[in-house]
């Protein structure tokens, strides 16, 4: 599904490459956690997968199509298939919840369709938003103001938006960084269930190795821009995780 | 067709501008005076307005009273203040500076206070929870939280002060305003064009200065020596003061004869029509222009061109646009509404563009990550994220335009200003004060209504 082949990324302002010779494969329905210290390259890896960073060598391929070479409409078409869930700050506060949720469909809608939806959403569109919110457990928030939601609810709205996008890859960059432990577990469980149920390749960066071991099939350790280990969660030894904390 | 021909020929009479070396040497001093007066006004406005705004923003005891006082002061148009200042301080730059200082203290104080009050409360609460005193809350919370908007509005009000510095000159406050009105009244249109070009260049350089100040706020300190020097070089003529108090006492109480009183509602209504019509025209023009001027929406090659158009519209004050439109479209409220509309389109276009550029980038990037095209990203992200500032700016502009609508009447563009000006010219000072009081009430009403609508606009976008 998602392949990262010998990927090297170097930022102009820095001597050391941010990523160096990364190789990674994630199959549909597979749940992979990326752990490692801050500055280890997790965010750069996600940006490279999403095609928003210039790649020096190697490439990222989505079902055989190279992300890095796409531009304009083609890049947008590829991005449509990769849903991104960041920390909870990426919703538009002033929109209603259903508007934020259906923003996931913008990649497949025409501009006119998008404007029409803002003015007068159709019943089918509202139903789709409602179904997505039902799946993430907050259908009653359909028409709420987004700024009135709690941190955990905002994260659920972001996930609902990702569902509406109908992606094949789900990227979650520190999705639980600003949530309390109980909410963190709920959100991770939800992400992992969704990946299995819809056959999505889930790539999720995490600070907490113990959560990674509990919820994910595979764990990748990233440090100084290199993969230091990549193995099934069941085969992770304590010494693998010392560096991450 | 005939009127259009006349309008065209009038327009041609403004060209070419008089750029002879002798004239350019002559206008140097009035130009310097205008800059100095604006700087002096802003120095006073910032030194008094910021402490007042902080007092209000930290919700210190009696803050509502300060807001009321600032609103009351702000409700007197700058030109009206200048007329009063000329009577009290005497002809010349001192009167202009006094009017600007009062007007912009109220403006800076009120707008900064509103921005402080609208700042997110959670970080402030946590600062207060540490037991921090008011000033510390302001320095570590209020100002950092609102800095981008403070700098935008601070440099914007300096631009306004520069234009107002020209305007107050028109009634004897010194600077190039006096020159400009003299040129137009003397039908010397080529020199009027020269002065308008100088004015546009002046405002353009203030715009650049504002941009530099936003990048490095310390540059704003340049204002202080320039402003203080101008104040020292142009002291008020003290002996006029005693005479002025006598004159001022003669203006009270405000009084209208029955015939004038009966005509007042129609005058006020016409003033409102000018203001609302002008603002509506401005909004219609400014929204598309601002999208074209926002560097995060379209390519910078386009924004540069659109910004020049906005600069020209903005650089020419309402009064000067009104002078031109009265000559071209005839005396009456239409000229007033056109003048307010064109000038406000320039102001709102720039402020809207900055609002679009100042939006939080995280939600916009999240939308782009869904593969959305440019227009949907604007419609779902940039526009709703900026709708708050857009509503605030529009309502402030409507308030401003109510004030401006009272002023453009003074040169024949309709509304209450015409009656005010005639009363002043005939030295019917009690009648003049009555019109000033009516203007003041009208502006306060606009303020109150503006506040309500602003609040509602903020909510409306959500509950479709």
Among candidate residues B250, B267, B286, the one where a domain is terminated: B250
pLDDT at residue B461, rounded to an integer: 36
pLDDT at residue B460, rounded to an integer: 39
Mean local confidence (pLDDT), B308-336: 84
| Cα dist from B368 to A133, A164, B58, B332, B365, whole Å | 21, 15, 38, 49, 5
pLDDT at residue B292, rounded to an integer: 93
Helix ranges (H only) for B58-139 are 63-74, 78-89, 93-117, 121-129, 134-137
For residues B174 and B280, state if they share a domain.
no
Contact B370 A92 (CB under 8 A): no
For residues B265 and B126, state if they share a domain.
no
- Residue in B with minimal Cα distance to A72: B373
**B416 in Cβ contact with B351 (< 8 Å):** no
C-alpha closest to that of B42 among B177, B188, B160:
B160
pLDDT at residue A167, rounded to an integer: 92
- Residue in A with minimal Cα distance to B377: A106
pLDDT at residue B462, rounded to an integer: 33
The phi, psi pair for A226, rounded to 5°, reads: -125, 155
- d(CA B101, CA B86) in angstroms, rounded, equals 14
For residues B236 and B151, state if they share a domain.
yes
CATH for B38: 1.10.3720.10
Facing residue for B376 by CB, picked from A82, A106, A120: A106
> What stretch of H or E contains B231?
helix B223-233
Give tens-digit pLDDT for B87-134. 777 778 888 898 999 999 999 998 889 888 888 777 777 777 777 777
For residues B310 and B241, state if they share a domain.
no
For residues B168 and B202, state if they share a domain.
yes
Asked if pLDDT for residue B83 goes beyond 50, the answer is: yes
Domain of B119, in residue numbers: 1-250
Query: Any residues with CB less than 8 A from the CB of B452 and at least 6 apart, and which?
Result: none
For residues B82 and B196, state if they share a domain.
yes
- d(CA B181, CA B192) in angstroms, rounded, equals 8
Contact B380 A111 (CB under 8 A): no
Among candidate residues B233, B250, B267, the one where a domain is terminated: B250
> Is A233 an 8 Å CB contact of chain B?
no
Band (pLDDT 50/70/90 cuts) for residue A236 is confident
For residues B188 and B327, state if they share a domain.
no
Mean local confidence (pLDDT), B273-290: 95
| Other C-beta atoms lying within 10 Å of the C-beta of residue A64 | 7
For residues B293 and B356, state if they share a domain.
yes
**B155 in Cβ contact with B214 (< 8 Å):** yes
Give tens-digit pLDDT for A36-90. 888 888 888 988 888 878 888 888 988 888 887 777 788 888 888 999 887 656 8
- Residue in B with minimal Cα distance to A167: B370
pLDDT at residue B454, rounded to an integer: 65
Give tens-digit pLDDT for B195-246. 888 888 887 787 788 778 777 878 878 888 988 888 888 877 655 567 767 7
Contact B462 A86 (CB under 8 A): no
CB < 8 Å to A90, chain B: 362-363, 365-366
Torsion B150-B155-B158-B160 (CA) sign: negative
For residues B181 and B161, state if they share a domain.
yes
For residues B205 and B265, state if they share a domain.
no
For residues B320 and B421, state if they share a domain.
yes
DSSP letter at B33 equals H
- d(CA B87, CA B95) in angstroms, rounded, equals 8
Contact A89 B381 (CB under 8 A): no
Among candidate residues B209, B226, B250, the one where a domain is terminated: B250
Facing residue for A94 by CB, picked from B367, B369, B384: B384
Under the phi-then-psi rule, with left for phi > 0, alpha for psi from -120 to 50, and beta for the rest, what region is A208? beta
Which residues are registered as beta bridge partners of A201?
A: A169
User: CATH number for the A1-81+167-245 domain, one of 3.40.50.300, 3.10.20.90, 2.130.10.30, 1.10.760.10?
Assistant: 3.40.50.300
CB contact residues (below 8 A), chain A span 4-33, against chain B: none
Give tens-digit pLDDT for B268-281. 999 999 999 999 99
pLDDT at residue B71, rounded to an integer: 83
For residues B307 and B231, state if they share a domain.
no
CB < 8 Å to B118, chain A: none
- d(CA A168, CA A83) in angstroms, rounded, equals 8
Give tens-digit pLDDT for A128-161. 999 999 999 999 999 999 888 988 899 899 999 9
Sequence ranges of the domains in chain A: 1-81+167-245, 87-166
The 3-state DSSP class for residue A210 equals helix
Among A162-171, B325-334, B421-430, the range with the most confident prediction by mean pLDDT is: A162-171
Contact B369 A103 (CB under 8 A): no
Overall number of domains in chain B: 2
Give tens-digit pLDDT for B362-421. 888 888 888 888 888 998 999 998 988 888 888 888 888 988 898 888 777 788 888 887
Contact A106 B388 (CB under 8 A): no
Angle at B345 between CA B314 and CA B284, to 5 degrees: 170
pLDDT at residue B463, rounded to an integer: 27
Smallest CA–CA distance, residue B386 to chain A, in Å, is 9
């Amino acid at each position: 599904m998602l392949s990262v082949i010998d990927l090297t990324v170097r930022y102009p302002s820095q001597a050391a490459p941010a990523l160096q010779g990364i190789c990674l494969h994630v199959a549909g329905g597979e749940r992979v956690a990326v752990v490692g210290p801050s500055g280890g390259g997790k965010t750069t890896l996600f940006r490279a997968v999403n095609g928003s960073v210039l790649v020096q060598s190697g490439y990222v391929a989505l079902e055989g199509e190279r992300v890095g070479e796409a531009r304009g409409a083609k890049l947008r078409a590829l991005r449509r298939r990769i849903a991104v869930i960041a920390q909870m700050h990426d919703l538009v506060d002033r929109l209603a919840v259903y508007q934020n949720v259906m923003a996931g469909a913008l990649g497949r809608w025409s501009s006119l369709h998008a404007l029409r939806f803002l003015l007068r959403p159709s019943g089918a569109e509202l139903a789709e938003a409602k179904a997505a919110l039902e799946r993430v457990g907050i259908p009653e928030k359909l028409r709420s103001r987004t700024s009135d939601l709690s941190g955990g609810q905002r994260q659920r709205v972001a996930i609902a938006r990702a569902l509406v996008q109908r992606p094949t890859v789900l990227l979650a960059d520190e999705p639980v960084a600003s949530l309390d432990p109980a909410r963190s577990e709920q959100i991770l469980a939800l992400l992992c269930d969704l990946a299995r149920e819809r056959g999505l390749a889930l790539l999720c960066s995490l600070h907490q190795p113990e959560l990674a071991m509990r919820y994910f099939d595979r764990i990748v350790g990233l440090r100084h821009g290199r993969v230091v280990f990549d193995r099934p969660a069941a085969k992770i030894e304590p010494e693998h995780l010392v560096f991450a904390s | 067709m005939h009127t259009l021909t006349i309008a065209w020929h009038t327009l041609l009479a403004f060209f070419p501008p008089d750029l002879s070396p002798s004239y350019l040497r002559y206008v140097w001093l009035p130009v310097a005076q205008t800059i100095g007066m604006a700087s002096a006004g802003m120095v006073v406005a910032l030194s008094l307005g910021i402490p007042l705004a902080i007092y209000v923003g930290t919700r210190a005891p009696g803050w509502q009273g300060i807001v009321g006082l600032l609103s009351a002061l702000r409700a007197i148009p700058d030109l009206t203040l200048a007329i009063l200042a000329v009577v009290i301080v005497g002809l010349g730059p001192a009167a202009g500076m006094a009017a600007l200082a009062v007007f912009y203290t109220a403006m800076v104080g009120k707008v900064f206070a509103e921005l402080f009050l609208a700042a997110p409360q959670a970080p402030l609460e946590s600062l207060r929870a540490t037991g921090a005193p008011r000033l510390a809350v302001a320095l570590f919370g209020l100002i950092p939280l609102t800095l981008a908007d403070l700098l935008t509005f601070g440099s914007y009000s300096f631009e306004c002060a520069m234009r107002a510095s020209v305007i107050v000159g028109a009634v004897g406050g010194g600077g190039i305003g006096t020159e400009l009105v003299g040129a137009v009244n003397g039908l010397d249109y080529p020199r009027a064009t020269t002065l308008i070009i100088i004015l546009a260049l002046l405002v353009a350089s203030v715009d650049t200065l504002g941009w530099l100040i936003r990048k490095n706020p310390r540059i704003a300190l340049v204002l202080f020596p320039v402003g203080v020097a101008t104040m020292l070089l142009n002291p008020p003529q003290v002996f006029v003061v005693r005479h002025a108090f006598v004159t001022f006492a003669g203006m009270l109480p405000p009084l209208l004869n029955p015939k004038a009183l009966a005509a007042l509602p129609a005058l006020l209504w016409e003033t409102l029509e000018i203001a609302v019509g002008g603002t509506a025209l401005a909004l219609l023009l400014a929204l598309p222009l601002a999208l074209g001027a926002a560097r995060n929406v379209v390519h910078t090659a386009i924004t540069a061109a659109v910004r020049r158009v906005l600069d020209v519209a903005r650089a020419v004050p309402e009064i000067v646009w009104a002078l031109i439109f009265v000559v071209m479209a005839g005396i009456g409220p239409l000229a007033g509404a056109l003048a307010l509309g064109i000038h406000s389109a320039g102001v709102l276009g720039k402020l809207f563009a900055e609002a679009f550029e100042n939006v939080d980038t995280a939600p916009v990037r999240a939308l782009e990550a869904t593969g959305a095209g440019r227009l949907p990203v604007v419609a779902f992200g940039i526009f709703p994220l900026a709708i708050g500032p857009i509503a605030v700016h529009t309502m402030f502009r409507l308030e401003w335009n109510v004030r401006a609508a009272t002023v453009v009447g003074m040169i024949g563009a309709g509304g209450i200003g015409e009656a005010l000006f005639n009363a002043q010219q005939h030295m019917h000072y009690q009648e003049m004060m009555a019109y000033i009081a009516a203007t003041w009430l009208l502006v306060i009403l606009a303020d109150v209504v503006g506040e309500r609508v602003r609040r509602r606009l903020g909510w409306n976008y959500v509950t479709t």
